Amino acid sequence: MTQLKLEISKSDLAEVKRMLSGVKKAIPRVIQQSVNRTLTGVRTDATNEVAKVITPTKKKIRSTMTVKKMTAADGNAFVKCTGGPLNLINFKARPTNKGVTVQVKKNSARELIKHAYIAKTKTGTELVFWRKQKEFVGIAKWDKTNKRKYGTFPKKYRFPAKALTSLAIPEVMGHGPTMAEILRLGGDRLKKNLDDRLKYELSKLK
């Protein structure tokens, strides 16, 4: 899991308190609305930054992120990214005669995983699997001669299938350069939202 928290700088907080000194009740509202608007944008920023590194769709990346908004009773607010290593089906998997090719990172070439294959699970989800090959002792010569597909052999002649996985999205999001850029963008968003909310509250006093 990777969790991202943003903090309002002391100088910005002091400015909000100074500008709204006559309406102190508005201060918590300005802070809460600013933070919550920022976190929604941070989720978008995080999705975009992770998508610059790895190849899963933005929809898949975004689905791993949740936003915990600030409330009057709870001042904690953050964007949380959860989930384990993704199956290779999410990395532009393509079946070939020799196995399955995938592209994990945006700046990397496609890689062939020999003897891998794409199959549907009982729930109908497609995943990339791999199975160790073994001698088909007891299988009729006709099957070998006609190159009958391995998956059609009786289970006793096959090893268990193994689902193949790669990087986890929280791992990519938490990587130094990626997280630094997300925090930078989040800081810019927070300052802008604070200014906007502050101007709005001040406009109501005119």
Kindly state the helix (H) or strand (E) to which residue 35 belongs, with its residue range: helix 26-51
Q: What is the pLDDT of residue 3?
A: 84
Cα 192-194-199 angle, rounded to 5 deg: 95
pLDDT in tens, 98-123: 899 999 999 999 999 988 999 999 89
What integer is the mean pLDDT of 185-205? 89
Alpha helices in 67-205 (DSSP H): 141-145, 169-173, 176-203
Sequence-distant contacts of 106-115: CB under 8 A, at least 24 apart: 106/52, 106/53, 106/54, 106/55, 113/88, 113/164
Q: Coil, strand, or helix at residue 126?
A: strand
**What is d(CA 17, CA 31) in angstroms, rounded to the nearest whole number?**
10
Sign of CA dihedral 136, 141, 144, 146: negative
Q: Cα separation of 2 and 120, whole Å?
A: 30
Query: Would you state the pLDDT for residue 175?
Result: 95
Q: Per-residue pLDDT for 22 more than 80?
A: no
Q: Look at residue 80 and tell me whether its pLDDT is greater than 80.
A: yes
d(CA 4, CA 186): 10
Q: Which of 64, 40, 38, 37 is nearest to 51 (CA)?
A: 64
Q: Give the pLDDT confidence of 109-165 residue by residue, as tens digits.
A: 999 998 899 999 989 999 999 877 655 445 554 455 545 565 566 666 566 789 999
Rounded Cα distance between 169 and 66, Å, is 13
pLDDT reported for residue 25 = 80
Tell me, what's the pLDDT at 177? 96
Whether pLDDT at 6 is above 80: no
Average pLDDT over residues 180-195: 94
Report the C-alpha dihedral over residues 123, 129, 135, 138, rounded to 10 degrees: 10
* Confidence band, pLDDT 50/70/90 cuts, at residue 28: confident
Query: How much of the chain, in percent, has pLDDT values that exceed 70?
Result: 86
Closest-CA residue to 50 (of 39, 62, 38, 40)? 62
Which pLDDT score, from 0 to 100, does residue 142 have?
A: 40
